[in-house]
A = this chain, B = another copy of it.
Amino acid sequence: MNNFDFYNPTKILFGEGKISEIAKEIPQDSKVMVIYGGGSIKKNGVYDQVADALENHSWTAFGGIEPNPRYETCMKAIKKIQTEDVDFLLAVGGGSVYDGTKFIAAGAMFDGEPWDILKRGAKIKKALPLAGVLTLPATGSEMNSGAVITREETQEKLPFGHPLLFPKFSVLDPSVTASLSYRQAANGVVDAFVHVMEQYMTYPSGNHLQARFAESILLTLIEDGPGYYNDPANYEKAANLMWSATMALNGLIGAGVPNDWSTHMIGHELTAFHEIDHARTLAIVLPGTWSVLKSDKREQLIQYAERVWGITSASDEDKIEQAIKKTEEFFNSLGIKTRLSDYDVDETTIRKIVKRFEERGWHLGEKQKVGPGNVEKILKSRA
């Protein structure tokens, strides 16, 4: 087992009605900025619940954070913070709103051009305190310190993070998912599923507990995901889904284990060029990553086949093939298509993505094998 540090100070308030408890978690003298997305929270009652909870706080609001949050939009929020003396940020939304809020928290206190945080990995030294109310289980951003921001001007989607960006608290109220669309629900299941895979599907590293925890999340997503997709108002399914998505990316299952993340990095490019939903890009790419890197991921693919899908009486080769097939079928069962052609992506885009990997000199994955050559193979296998 590799050495690791594990630290996660985010307090979780889980369950129906928990939004009403946020006031006691925010310093009384704070000036709060509620940050949200396209306005669905005004229709489903969450905005009103937050407003009620904050009745004794001074607060303002900033709406319009996009799916794949834009650098340009975050910069507008930073301007508003500086003119209105805001000193506490409350994200109310899904992973994009959380991610945008994290960038705003860091950018508002950054000495220089905040773009440098993304482009050059400039060091974050201070950040505004932030917290949130999660409305869409998917990204795990509600209990971690990382985020991804897109710059429209240059079609770039880049990650950043810092321990100062752990939310102070996050409310996870499964009843708020009742108004999600099937598409949002399905995306959330797949996003969480692939987060687990990026930390699990590498090579054996002696981390027996982390592997079993990862498999626990996968099994729960498989058990409760389809029911949740068909009815996001099913509280018990939504609750298990929500907690699984949070646990998929809060540092727990990745502690001391090799990580991959190449499927994500390829997927980000598909989103940057074609605006395909993040989760859908992962569902497209993942089976390709496994097929191309089958020999490197062999032992873990077999363990996954056996423990998660119960495929025990087949040759190793067959176990692997069946596990890849089962995974793609699972995505399809959630209404998610898994081929580039389903999204009208052709060779031109593949060439552009390969070129970006070349320009950046990227060789990603747990063994640094996902460079331009393998990216091309992976994407071509998903045509």
Give A residues with C-beta under 8 Å from B: 1-9, 11-18, 174, 206-210, 212-213, 215-217, 219-220, 223-224, 235-236, 239-240, 243-244, 247, 252, 255-256
Contact = CB atoms under 8 A, between A and B. Distances in A.
Given A209-B240, A216-B216, A11 B5 contact: yes
A302 B244 CA distance: 24
A177 to B, nearest CB: 13
A7 B12 contact: yes
28 contacts: A1-B14, A1-B15, A1-B235, A1-B240, A1-B243, A2-B15, A3-B16, A3-B18, A4-B12, A5-B11, A6-B12, A6-B14, A8-B8, A8-B9, A9-B9, A206-B236, A206-B239, A208-B220, A208-B224, A208-B240, A209-B217, A209-B240, A209-B243, A210-B243, A212-B215, A212-B217, A213-B213, A252-B252
A213 B2 CA distance: 21
B9 A209 contact: no
Given A12-B255, A215-B216, 5 more contacts: A4-B12, A5-B13, A5-B14, A6-B14, A208-B223
Nearest 10 pairs between A and B by C-beta? Answer: A3-B15, A212-B216, A9-B9, A7-B11, A6-B12, A1-B239, A209-B220, A206-B236, A208-B240, A208-B220
A17 B4 CA distance: 11
Copies of this chain, whole number:
2
Contacts of A243: 1, 209-210, 255
B209 A216 contact: yes
Contacts of A17: 3
Contacts of A223: 208
Contacts of A219: 212
A318 B212 CA distance: 27
A133 B140 CA distance: 30
